[in-house]
Amino acid sequence: MGAKQIYLKIQQALSSTSQKYVTAEMLSQSIGIYPDVINEALSMFNPVVTLDVTFNLLELLPDLNQYLGNAKLVTVKRNRSVQKSLPYTSFAEFVYQKMTMAGIVDKSIQLSDKDLKLAKKLIQNELKSRKK
């Protein structure tokens, strides 16, 4: 996390608080950054911050606003779902390879949970392709 992002998080948290007195410890609980990191970052505006743990950080808000100007905190949304290719192209191929012996369906075969989930995905994919 860069210094500018830390400043923006601190600015956003201090601006939105309704409390009249905010210490680094209180701020760290709300934004998830260690108090030492907050104190070190804000020591640029007032060096007393690192020495006094009871320092009111709201006193630094005007200086912080002036330093940042009209910068906004930007969050990047990342696509976390990566669709893996399935080992079978269709449900029929899955049945043929997993459940048949010499071309005849074997009713005594027990499928594992993993195989059942795979079969469910294959069926859902075929239903989607039929709707199109």
Looking at the domain assignment, is residue 119 inside a domain? yes
40 and 95 fall within a common domain: no
> How many independent structural domains does the chain possess?
2
Residue 123: predicted pLDDT: 93
Q: Which of 1-15, 52-66, 67-81, 94-108 has the lowest mean pLDDT?
A: 67-81
Residue 74: predicted pLDDT: 67
Looking at the domain assignment, is residue 80 inside a domain? no
- For residues 4 and 7, give the distance between their C-alpha atoms in angstroms, rounded to a whole number: 5
Which residue, 70, 69, 55, is CA-closest to 21?
55
Q: Mean of the pLDDT values across residues 99-125? A: 90
DSSP-assigned states of every residue in 68-124: HTT------------PPPPS-SSHHHHHHHHHEETTEE-TTPPPPHHHHHHHHHHHH
Residue 20: predicted pLDDT: 92
58 and 114 fall within a common domain: no
Residue 130 identity (one-letter amino acid): R
Looking at the domain assignment, is residue 73 inside a domain? no
Question: What is this structure's pTM?
Answer: 0.53
Contact between 47 and 61 (Cβ < 8 Å): no
Looking at the domain assignment, is residue 83 inside a domain? no
Q: Is the pLDDT confidence value at 1 over 70?
A: no
pLDDT band at 105 (very low <50, low <70, confident <90, very high): confident
Residue numbers of the domain that contains 123: 91-131
Pick the more confident residue, 33 or 74.
Answer: 33
Q: Is the pLDDT confidence value at 116 over 90?
A: yes
Q: Mean of the pLDDT values across residues 31-35? A: 90
Question: What residues have CB less than 8 Å from 35, skipping those under 6 apart?
Answer: 23, 24, 25, 27, 28, 53
